[in-house]
Amino acid sequence: MFFPKPLLVLLLVLVSRLSASAAPLAKPVAPIQRIDPTFWWVGMKNPKLQLLVHGPDLATSRVSLTSYPGVTLDGFQRLESPNYLLVNLTISPSAQPGNLQLTFIGKQKSTYAYELRARTTPGDKSKVQGISSADFVYLLMPDRFANGDPGNDVVKGNRAPGVARDSMYARHGGDLRGIEQHFDYLKELGVTAIWPTPVVDNNMPKAGYHGYALTDYYAVDPHYGTNEDYVRFVQRAHQQGLKVVHDVVLNHIGSFNYLWLDQPAKDWFHQWPTFTRGNYRNGTVNDPHASSLDRRLFSTTMFDTTMPDPAQENPLMATYLIQNFLWWVEYTGVDGYRVDTYTYSDPTFLMNWGKAILDEYPQLGMFGETWMQEAEGVAQQAFWTRNVFPPVNGFKSNLPGAIDFILRQALLESLTKPAGFAEGVAKLYYAVQGDWMYEDASRNLIFLDNHDVDRVFSVLGEDVRKQKMALAWLLTERGIPQLYYGTEVLMKNFSRPDGLLREDFPGGFPGDARNAFTAAGRTPAQQDVHEFVRRLAQYRKSHPVLHTGQLTHFVPEDGVYTYFRHDQQGHSVLVMLNCGAAAKTVQLSRFAERLKGYTAAQDVLTEAIVPDLRTATVPAYSALIWELR
């Protein structure tokens, strides 16, 4: 075919341009998939920052930092996986907020703007307020408390994307907004601090609702909301006079965590040839006769089949974890940390982690899960907190307080077994007597039940008298009282076989048949117990003698345990627990040393005036609480 020359030239130009547009593009710049920590702050006490950079084939890259005043690049480190680099920085006190320009040059080139923020916690007194014995902590499972945003019930791409309220192992739809919508309920009850089970991402195919198999250290679970939602949740709680306890897991992760699926190096996790379940024996850590095998079986095994165990003795993994838990405090301003499975972590790591957290945030409240059986005793529990003991095998705990399982077991035995010289209510006396082993037992969290143990109402045979007596003890004993959601409205059931101790709070979900958040939605018995908690918690809130007053107790007699909370300003509260099935009349002359100077009392629960301090009559399975005058 013949083309005139001008037209031929035009066609050649067009073909050339079309060919160019169809030619393969230059190889795309290698993406940096993520950097942990996701951002950081200037002005932290430790100027060192370790960045874990993740992306395909990063290991061959060199790293450079565009000049940034006050920030130096100390070097970078390749790991076993080709998809990671560690970048080490020093951020001097003179550094200002802004974006660091990091350049990665290898087979490909990539740049990343890493954000340095200005700190807010040092100057904002509403943040990191701490948790103390003045608080009343309400433990709840976000998924099971209230659904405030149905829009996040289904998360596309999640391994368990939807909800199924008829399954105890599926998600039910509760979220942060649902909790926030019931701040008024909690405040009216006398609560001062909220402890949600972990809110971080648990993208697991089964049972991710509980929060203890985290799959992303730096993200809130999308079924609950976004990271920004959580920051706002903490801010709004503070505005309402409520503190927030952040539940953290040091010991294990979920098996779908990206660090496990693409491990930076094999030595970042404890590896056994096949799945090996631990022995759950924390006593092997300080047992002078323990075998090395038993110690390894306690602290270097997977917590469960889907919960890998970070190797915290690896300094790189240790730094990763320490930075993460500093990050959450600075980012959100939470007031305390509850530390899950505290005893299972590497002892040296625990000391370093605790020191790093408390050096930066000395006011942060911290209590750890130190789950003890009765046979292990107070001494073993105290070993895991600040105590009077010398170091053992180089370990000296710096954890401020324990979750007091020993005291809980003693209280329940007081209400379920006959009194004897060392049985029944005597167990409670001896558990409190062991307080000499703690640096400060008032920092311990005391409780009746939680998300892992049978609900107290069921343990007590659904006896409302015993339930109220246990609650009276909880709100007058030394320590930080914690209430499990629904205990105030007689929620019941056992952990086995079907996990019903984690049922939904009635009224927190659309379509619920009744609403226990309101008096109209409670049975008479539920309303009675709810009012009991509200009245006593509000009294405790306004009477510091029950927060910081000294505890003086007397050896139990005839099934009655008597103790006083008193201070140097002359405030004094008398508590009598009758753990027997018959009413008891007690001669008060036995307590003359604590009654000296007082001539009358007022019953805290009934507000009746008690004009005579010679005797006290306590009904069966009940508590008497008098404010001395």
Q: Tell me if residue 340 is catalytic.
A: yes
User: Looking at this protein, which amino acid is placed at residue 307?
Assistant: M
Residues in Cβ contact with 375 at an 8 Å cutoff, skipping those fewer than 6 apart: none
Please report the pLDDT score of residue 26 as a whole number: 34
Retrieve residue 83's tokens. Answer: 């998809």
**What is the per-residue pLDDT across 462-476, written as a single tens digit (0 to 9) for each?**
999 999 999 999 999
Q: Report pLDDT for 597.
A: 96
Report pLDDT for 16. 40
Residue 2: pLDDT band (50, 70, 90) is very low
At 30 the pLDDT is 52
Nearest to 40 by CA among 90, 3, 107: 90
The mean pLDDT value for 593-603 works out to 98
Handedness of CA 385, 247, 539, 618 (dihedral sign): negative
For residue 412, which phi and psi values (nearest 5 degrees)?
-65, -35
Tell me whether residue 593 is one of the annotated catalytic residues. Answer: no
Percent of the chain with pLDDT over 70: 95
- Helices (H) then strands (E): counts for the chain: 17, 26
Count the Cβ atoms, other than its own, within 10 Å of residue 497: 6
Mean pLDDT of the chain: 94
> What's residue 107's pLDDT?
80
- Residues 105-132: tens digit of each pLDDT: 988 889 999 999 999 999 999 999 999 9
Which runs of consecutive H residues, i.e. helices, occur in 217-360? 227-239, 258-261, 292-299, 315-332, 347-360
pLDDT in tens, 414-430: 999 999 999 999 999 99
Q: Which two three-digit tokens encode residue 284?
A: 């092997």
Question: Of residues 360, 369, 449, 503, which has the active-site annotation?
Answer: 369
The whole-number average pLDDT for the span 201-227 is 97
In this predicted structure, the answer to whether residue 4 has a pLDDT above a threshold of 50 is no
Cβ proximity of 336 and 365 under 8 Å? yes
Q: In the predicted model, what is the mean pLDDT of residues 300-312?
A: 95
128: left (phi over 0), alpha (psi -120 to 50) or beta: left
Q: What domains lie within the chain, and their CATH numbers?
A: 34-118 (2.60.40.10), 137-455+478-510+526-546 (3.20.20.80), 547-628 (2.60.40.1180)
What's the CA gap between 399 and 354, in Å, rounded? 7
User: Distance between CA 179 and CA 141 in Å, rounded?
Assistant: 10
What is the reported pLDDT for 587?
98
For the segment 569-583, the average pLDDT, to the nearest whole number, is: 97
The residues, any chain, with a CB within 8 Å of residue 50's CB and separated by 6 or more, are: 86, 87, 88, 89, 316, 319, 320, 323
pLDDT band at 11 (very low <50, low <70, confident <90, very high): very low
- b/e map of 319-330 (b: 16 or more CB within 10 Å)? bbbbbbbbbbbb
State mean pLDDT over 119-147.
97
Write out pLDDT tens, residues 21-46: 333 333 334 589 999 999 999 999 99
**Distance between CA 188 and CA 332 in Å, rounded?**
25
pLDDT band at 394 (very low <50, low <70, confident <90, very high): very high
Q: Residue 623's Cα: distance from chain center in Å?
A: 31
DSSP letter, residue 75: E
Q: Is the pTM of this model over 0.85?
A: yes
Helix axes 315-332, 227-239, angle to 10 degrees: 50
Region 249-262 average pLDDT: 97
* Inter-residue contact 394 to 529 (CB < 8 Å): no
Q: Which of 180, 229, 309, 340 is catalytic?
A: 340
Other Cβ atoms closer than 10 A to 104: 23
pLDDT tens, residue by residue, 498-541: 889 999 999 999 999 999 999 999 999 999 999 999 999 999 99
Amino acid at 518: T
CA distance 267 to 228: 34
Mean pLDDT of 350-361: 98
Yes or no: say if 415 and 466 are a contact pair by the CB < 8 Å rule: yes
